[in-house]
Structure 1
Amino acid sequence: MTRLLYLVSHPIQYQAPLLRRIAAEPGIDLRVIFERKDTVQGYHDPGFGTQVRWDVDLLGGYDHATMAETSLESEIGRADAVWMHGWDSSARLKALGLARVRGRPVLMRGENQDQAMPDGPGPRGWVKRRYLAWIFRRCRAFLAIGTANGDYYLRRGIGKERIFSMPYAVDNQAFAERAAGADGMALRRSLGIPDGLPVVLFAGKFQRRKRPDLLLDAWKTLAQPRPVLLMVGDGEMRAELEAWAEPGVVFAGFRNQGELPGFYAMADAFVLPSESEPWGLAVNEAMACGTAVVVSDQVGAARDLVDETTGAVFPAGDAAALSTALSQVIARSDCLGAQAAERIAGWDFEADVAGLKQALAFVEERRP
């Protein structure tokens, strides 16, 4: 039995079902330590610009505590291996040092990739590279969420044998089941969307880096009768987006996890036009619901999940290319959506568990 300690900032809606799956795996004794968990009761999300309380179980099914409730040094001492999600906090940097002192191997998983998170030029880039080298020397193995993330480690001198695939996944089964059980016609009526019109969906934070404005511009150039543009979410750009909108654009506000599958299932195409996006788990969600996807080439998920068989990839910032991609995908949305569901089926928690176990076996074999 491998005692695995997982360190992460807070309970994350995407990760909770994965942690339950890992906790159920024979041979792994999982213990999760959060830096904080008060967010479970709700918090102000600056990206959405509103109060958020997720409607999914964030804490059930696995052993957990917060750093305030336990001793980090003792927890690391009891573990056989330490898994960390990112290195963006003083608590996890402290844990890196403690793990090194106690001789516990660290498995690092993060979202970094060069397009979304470049080191940058000049002195700041040099300092960042030195900082990353310091962190990576303290890690025994790396858990890559996708191809671009794996390449990020390779470019920084990490040997291929130390990188293991642990793909960024969502609960595919839960999304597919909720999508299948959703009443699409009732949802259309509640939103005032006419029957028979295709639906283009944006679901996420109305932030400038996600470029919902680019989608609105591209939509305006589509041939009449245009599909409905359904904007689900909230954030800093909402007022200006509403001011630019024309008839045919529907703003549905923030919607929780339990509601999203119905929106994905109703859509003919889901669009993520970001200019900077380390991954984009909404792409996984849409595909699990059988929806074709259109993403920019700056979305991390594009390289692994999106091509002409599941949707389209367009150059970030190019409204004309996005408009063309939308027209092509909407014309084949049923076929592409079915293929999207097939593609995402293998990008799942089972693949995560397999990669994690391979990494654990690797560090165990090299234990001093």
Structure 2
Amino acid sequence: MEGVHRRIRLAYVVSHPIQYQAKLLRLIAADPGIDLTVFFCSDLSLRSYKDPGFGVSVTWDVPLTEGYRSVVLPRWRDTNKLSPTRPIARGIFRGLLRGIDGEPFDALWVHGYSTVNSLHAMLAAKALGIPVLLRAESWLADRTRSHTTLLIKQLYFDGLKMLVDAVLPIGSRNATYWTHYFGADFPAFTMPYAVDNEYFATRAEAATRNRAELQTEFNLDPSRPVILFASKLQERKHADHLLEAYLQLRVQTSLDPYLLIVGDGETRAQLEQRASASGVEGIRFLGFRNQSELPRFFDLSTVFVLPSRHEAWGLITNEAMAAGLPVIVSDDVGCAVDLVRNGENGYVYPLGDIAALRNALAATLAPGRRESMGERGREILSRWSYREDLVALKAALQRVTKLPIQKISG
């Protein structure tokens, strides 16, 4: 029958090229069942820019737009900052109308729902009769909001529901979020928030050969364990909680670990002052490090910690697990429910509970735990990968387009 074997023409609208998504988009574009076009509403990440979280100029050292068809839309109000109303992309409707070589798109996938551009894209698709898939990061307890704000949000979602044909939850908490606002019967296809597991596993393994060089560079005794924090130094990331737990650990136990703080941002000076005042010699502030450098630090470390508040997911946790590290996260980190099993591959502790964080560190730093917990983490992550993303996306596309699509084998 005519058209049965053709690729489904999928448009994807997203704010800007995102380092975590680049490999996934290449895999989708290479799939024989999908013809992908990505519309970027900004090219911010393709040039050097000052990241407000890191507080330094950032130029990503991984390819962000290779291996798939993409268009950077013209813009109004374009600045070196992204917000719900900046920039305003032009040409979304025209791009969806034109399709691919004059052939209309079969579906639109939108990342996020709170910007002018994402709303514009969904309204345009509705006007053109194109079904919409929506993916976002939110979960119900990730912010404290007033009753009035929640009421307004519910009204917004009542309208949003009419523009969307299916949602793509990134994990359990996000799935509950969509059920709360759209109802239990609304079509949902879990498209897990994943990273390039193989990349971080192989790069961390390769880094082992040069581990001694990094230990020498940062004056680290190879016999001592290493605690790693790698994120923006913002107040909500709570590197201060980790620092206090580390200092307690040094005083109250015989453990003698290092604490490596990789990242930069607004709280760095305050953290350095506290570290200096403590008189403890094992703390290293290593500044911002690019994506390709992280596997070296994962290999060097014994445990990774993300003590954040209001962390929608925390993809660096996936990266650390892929590299074979145990992980400790606060219960306000979105990935905690899906990726962390207490005592198996890490620990989840109550946000702000310094004693609980200290105890989790002590348990994880016990001899032999890195290997066993790290291996368990990789087992968990093996079912949380780009392959599952592609399976979910294809199932969602088949549901909303009613078109046949080639399934993934194996």
TM above 0.5:
yes
Superposed, 1:1-368 pairs within 5 Å as 1-68=7-74, 71-77=91-97, 78-117=104-143, 120-160=145-185, 162-182=187-207, 183-222=210-249, 223-245=253-275, 246-307=280-341, 308-331=343-366, 332-365=369-402
Q: CA deviation at 1:3?
A: 0.4
The total of aligned residue pairs comes to 366
Instruction: Indicate the SS of the match to 2:231.
Output: strand
Instruction: Indicate the SS of the match to 1:355.
Output: helix
Segments of structure 2 that go 5 or more residues without pairing to the other structure are: 1-6, 76-89, 98-103, 404-410
Q: Which has the larger radius of gyration?
A: 2
Q: What is the rounded CA distance, in whole Å, between the counterparts of 1:288 and 1:334 in structure 2? A: 13
Deviations along 1:199-221, one digit per CA (max 9) or x if unpaired, are 00000001111110000000011
Q: CA deviation at 1:132?
A: 2.2
Q: CA deviation at 1:161?
A: 5.2
Q: What is the rounded CA distance, in whole Å, between the counterparts of 1:159 and 1:95 in structure 2? A: 25
Identity %: 43
Deviations along 1:40-93, one digit per CA (max 9) or x if unpaired, are 121110000000011100010000001219832232232110000002221221
Name the amino acid aligned to 2:139.
Q
Q: CA deviation at 1:121?
A: 2.7
Q: What is the rounded CA distance, in whole Å, between the counterparts of 2:147 and 2:190 in structure 1? A: 32
Segments of structure 1 that go 5 or more residues without pairing to the other structure are: none
Q: What is the rounded CA distance, in whole Å, between the counterparts of 1:115 and 1:264 in structure 2? A: 30
**Is the deviation greater in 281-290 or in 159-168?**
159-168
Aligned 8 A contact 1:5 1:75 in 2: no
Q: CA deviation at 1:158?
A: 3.0
C-alpha RMSD over aligned residues: 1.5
Name the amino acid aligned to 2:290.
N
Name the amino acid aligned to 2:339.
L
Aligned 8 A contact 2:92 2:120 in 1: no
Aligned 8 A contact 2:161 2:182 in 1: no
Q: CA deviation at 1:142?
A: 0.3
TM-score, scaled relative to structure 1: 0.96
**Is the deviation greater in 357-366 or in 200-209?**
357-366
Q: What is the rounded CA distance, in whole Å, between the counterparts of 1:306 and 1:185 in structure 2? A: 30
Distance 1:160 1:348, change over 3 A: farther
Q: What is the rounded CA distance, in whole Å, between the counterparts of 1:259 and 1:136 in structure 2? A: 41
Q: What is the rounded CA distance, in whole Å, between the counterparts of 2:272 and 2:321 in structure 1? A: 27
Q: CA deviation at 1:339?
A: 1.1
